[in-house]
Amino acid sequence: MAASRSCPSWRHPSLVEDGFVRFVDSTTQPRFVEEVSGLGSTARRLGTAPDARSPFTLGGRLSGSAPFQLEGTVGPVMGPLVLDVKGKLSDLALTRVNPYMNQYLGWIARRGVVGLTFDYRIADDTLDAKNEVVVGQPEIAPSRRGRAVRERIGVPLDTLVSLLKDSRTRCGRASGKP
């Protein structure tokens, strides 16, 4: 009779309370720096068995007091990748992402906020993603890289933003699947 092998699992919850994380991306000029404070996280029933499903939560505040919250379930630690997660980010100042806007769009934000809600599922190597993005009161200006990026994408970003604004100066809700 063959001996049965059990897959390891963590029965006790994993918990982080009032944590802090600092992220630095040196690939942009200037460097992108983001800090997460008040970080809280829970994970239960982590395991390596193929049918393992672990509920988790993650939340905190990004620099500038933008709150975020994620919750869902994740599959086995060693794969295959299974993920079901919903999340929300509110009131992130657009100026926080200027290093990326400058590098990839050739524009920078003078003001504005962004909010995001999403629902992502990964199973059988297939991603199902739903996003809703709202940008409030965006004010943007070309950066020194603007001309090169404009030539690459063919349309000035300020024209696109003007077309997307509603009567409350919000850019429309972008929703969809990748």
Task: Supply the DSSP symbol for 97.
Answer: G
Report yes or no on 4 lying in a domain. Answer: no
Orientation angle between helical segments 98-105 and 146-153, nearest 10 degrees: 60
Mean pLDDT by 10 residues, the chain (178 residues): 52 83 94 95 89 94 93 90 96 94 87 94 94 89 72 65 60 51
Report yes or no on 2 lying in a domain. Answer: no
Model pTM?
0.76
If one counts the domains in the chain, the total is 1
Contact 32, 103 (CB under 8 A): no
SS3 168: coil
Task: Give the per-residue pLDDT at 178.
Answer: 45
Task: Give the per-residue pLDDT at 160.
Answer: 61
Task: Give the per-residue pLDDT at 172.
Answer: 55
Calpha distance 57→86 (Å, rounded): 10
Q: Which residues contact 169 (CB under 8 A, 6 or more apart)?
A: 136, 137, 138
Parent domain of 62? 10-176
Task: Give the per-residue pLDDT at 77.
Answer: 84
Task: Give the per-residue pLDDT at 55.
Answer: 96
Contact 112, 86 (CB under 8 A): no
